[in-house]
Amino acid sequence: MIIAEIGTSHEGSVEKAKALIDASCNAGADFIKFQWVYAEEILHPDTGFVKLPTGNIPLYQRFKELECPVSFYKEMLDYTHSLGKKFICSPFGLKSLQELLEIHPDAIKIASPELNHYPMLKFLAEYRKNQKEKIPVILSSGVSTLSDIEKAITIVGKQNVSLLHCITSYPAPEEEYNLNLIKNLSAVFGIPCGVSDHSLDPILVPALSIAAGGTIIEKHITLSRKTEGLDDPVALEPEQFGFMSHTVNQAIASINHYGKDAGTRRIIEQLSEQYGKEKIQKVLGTGIKELAPAESQNYGRTNRSLHFMKAFDKGHVISKGDIGILRTEKVLTPGISPEYYDLVIGKTLSVSVENGAGVQFTDFFQSN
C-alpha cells in the first residue's frame, strides 16, 4: 500500500488539493491522505513560532490558516473516489474525528503525536466496536516507546489495524531508520507494519522497507518543495514520488519472483551497490525499539500532554474546558500524560497556574 500524504500542502485551496490528488494518482499512490486540522485541537495559542520563508510565524496562527470546512474534505473524498483511489485522513482531536467519521473515509490514520491522545483513541475504539467490518486504522509510531505503542493498540484493537514505524524528525536521517524494527513490531503486536518516511531520498528507505518486511509506505507529496506548506521541504515532488512508487513495485516484484529470502537478498544487494553496504546496514539497524537520536529531544513535546487553557488561581476547581490535550511543541513546558485527564477533572488547584502551562501533579498535591 502506497500512501501519498498531501497533509496540508493544499493550503486550503480546492484547486491545489485536486491538483495534488491528480499528481498522487499519476505517481502510483493507492491511498490519498489529508489532515483534518483545527488549531485548538493541536496547540495552545502560546506554543511558539515556526520558521517559514516569509519569517517567523506563530505556529498556532499557521494551523488556523490551514483549517477547512467539512465540505472541503467531503469534496476531496468524492474526487479521490472518482479517480479509483481510496481516501484516508488524520484527525487531531474529538471534533475532527467525529466529523471525519461522518463522511465515511476508507481508513483513518492516527499520526505519531496523537498515539497517546487516549480520549480520541477510546472514542474511535467505541465507534469500531459496533461495526461488523471495522474501519481500517493505521497507527504511526514516531517519537514513541514500545509501551506507548502497546497502550494505543490495547485501546484500538488489532482487527483491521496496521502500524507504521516512523522517525518524527523533519527531515529524518536515513541511517537512523532502523528498518529491521518493522518485522519485530509486526511479530510483537501481531499486525501488519510499514514505514512513514520523512527522509529526503525517494528510494532508500521505501525500497529497503520492502526487504525488511514492510507492507505500507507513506511519503509526503507536494507540487513543489519551494512552496510554503509546513511539510513541503521534506515532501517528494510528483516525479520523485513516481520514481519511488516504481522502485517499490520493482522490489515487490523481486520478492514475488524470487521468493521472500532470495528476493530480499537481491534488493539489499542492489541497494548496496548504489549506496554502499555500510550505509545499508546502518539503515537496517538493530531491530531494537528505541527513540531515534533525531527525535529523542522531541519526546514529551511533540506527543500529547495536558495543558491549562487559562491562568487559574489557587483554589480553582478544574472542569473539562480548563484542560487541553495538546502538543507542547516550542516554548511551553510539557504536562502529565493524557491518561490522567479524568483524574484531574474536579480536582482543586493547590497553587496558581499560568495560561498554557503543562499540568503537573504538584499543581494539586503539595507536600508539606
Per-residue confidence (pLDDT) for residue 57, from 0 to 100: 84
Residue 348, in any domain of the structure:
yes
CA angle 216, 136, 5 (to 5 degrees): 45
> What is the rounded radius of gyration, in angstroms, for the C-alpha atoms of the chain?
21
Helix (H) or strand (E) holding 227: none
Residue 314 host element (H or E): none
Residue 26 sits in the same domain as residue 121: yes
For the stretch 3-52, pLDDT in tens is: 999 999 999 999 999 999 999 999 999 999 999 999 999 999 999 987 76
What pLDDT does 25 receive?
98
Task: Choose one of 263, 294, 325: the last residue of a domain.
Answer: 294
**Domain co-membership, 118 together with 208:** yes
Run of H or E including 239: helix 238-258
Co-location of 50 and 114 in the same domain: yes
Indicate whether 326 belongs to any domain.
Answer: yes
Pick from 77, 110, 289: which is nearest to 196 by CA? 110
Q: Collapse the DSSP code of 127 into the 3-class scheme (helix H, G, I; strand E, B; otherwise coil) and give the result.
A: helix
Do 282 and 309 lie in a common domain?
Answer: no
- Is residue 206 domain-shared with residue 352, that is, in the same domain? no
Asked if residue 168 and residue 108 are part of one domain, the reply reads yes
Q: Show the domain range for 321.
A: 304-363
Residue 332 lies in a domain: yes
Query: Total domain count for the chain?
Result: 2
**Residue 368, domain member (yes or no):** no
- Identify whether the C-beta of residue 92 lies closer than 8 Å to the C-beta of residue 114: yes
CATH assignment at residue 159: 3.20.20.70
Q: Say yes or no: 11 and 35 in one domain.
A: yes
My answer on whether 284 and 334 are in the same domain is no
| 355 assigned to some structural domain | yes
Q: What is the pTM of this model?
A: 0.95
Q: Among 264, 294, 324, which residue terminates a domain?
A: 294
Regarding whether 166 and 19 lie in a shared domain, the answer is yes
The more confidently predicted of residues 232 and 115 is 115
**At which residue does the C-alpha cell 484527525 appear?**
91
Q: Looking at the domain assignment, is residue 224 inside a domain?
A: yes
The whole-angstrom separation of Cα 45 and Cα 58 is 8
Q: Mind listing the pLDDT tens digit for each residue in 44-58?
A: 999 998 776 667 888
Considering the domain architecture, whether residues 167 and 315 belong to the same structural domain is answered as: no
- Residue environment code for 204-242, b if the CB has 16+ CB neighbours within 10 A, otherwise e: bbbbbbbbbbbbbbbbbbbbeeeeebbbbbbbbbbebbb
Which residues, other chains included, contact 152 with Cβ-Cβ below 8 Å and sequence gap of 6+?
Answer: 110, 115, 116, 121, 139
pLDDT of residue 368: 46
Asked whether the beta carbons of 244 and 213 are under 8 A apart, the reply is no
Contact 50, 64 (CB under 8 A): no
Q: Do 190 and 316 lie in a common domain? A: no
247's CB contacts (< 8 A; 6+ apart) are 202, 203, 206, 207
With bands split at pLDDT 50, 70 and 90, how would you rate the model's confidence at 365?
confident
User: Scanning the structure block, which residue is given the C-alpha cell 502529565?
Assistant: 336
CATH at residue 320: 3.90.1210.10
Task: Give the C-alpha separation, 260 to 211, whole Å.
Answer: 8
Q: Is residue 267 part of a domain?
A: yes
Mean pLDDT of 303-317: 97
Model confidence pLDDT, tens digit, residues 160-186: 999 999 999 989 999 999 999 999 999
Q: Are 328 and 359 in contact (CB under 8 A)?
A: no
Three cell numbers written together for 196: 512513514
> Which pLDDT tens digit goes with each residue over 106-143?
999 999 999 999 999 999 999 999 898 999 999 999 99
Q: Does the pLDDT at position 367 exceed 60? A: no
Same domain, 285 and 328: no
Phi and psi based region of residue 213 (left: phi greater than 0; alpha: psi -120 to 50; beta: remaining)? left
> Residue 299: inside a domain, yes or no?
no
Boundary (domain end) residue, out of 269, 294, 319: 294
